[in-house]
């Protein structure tokens, strides 16, 4: 892979990760509306931390690979595809569906 292609792919993955931050922020706000609760969402180009009360989700990005960790120590990895999906093992899920799932769990 040439340097230019690597830079383009890194920019793509960075933009997709930033989009994931926006999705998590929006979905946690949506799930908190009925009760007036809000989640804290902190991010930079390599990590996202979403917390609400005792619940917490931390995502750390290394190129297209993201490691997630929950407050109870559960953890895993997924790949962000060029199409904006999350690939875990041989299964892909749309980024917005994954963000909504995590937001719902965090805001319970």
Give the model confidence (pLDDT) of 3-47 as tens digits.
Answer: 788 778 889 999 999 999 999 999 999 999 999 999 999 999 999
- Crossing angle of helices 3-32 and 95-107, rounded to 10°: 40
Residue 11: the pLDDT is 92
Tell me what pLDDT residue 1 has: 60
Residue with tokens 């991010």: 43
Q: How many domains does the chain have?
A: 1
Q: What is the pLDDT of residue 5?
A: 83
pLDDT of residue 6: 76
Structural domain boundaries, residue 52 = 3-107
pLDDT at 43 (0 to 100):
96
Pure H helices in the chain: 3-32, 95-107
């Amino acid at each position: 892979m040439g340097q230019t292609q690597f830079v383009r792919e890194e920019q793509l993955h960075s933009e997709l990760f930033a989009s994931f931050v926006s999705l998590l922020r929006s979905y946690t706000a949506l799930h908190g509306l009925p009760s007036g609760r809000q989640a804290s969402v902190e991010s930079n180009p390599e990590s996202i931390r979403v917390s609400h009360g005792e619940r917490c989700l931390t995502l750390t990005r290394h190129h297209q690979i993201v490691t997630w960790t929950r407050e109870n120590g559960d953890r895993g990895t997924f790949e962000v595809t060029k199409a904006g999906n999350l690939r875990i093992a041989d299964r892909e899920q749309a980024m917005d569906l994954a963000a909504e799932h995590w937001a719902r769990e965090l805001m319970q």
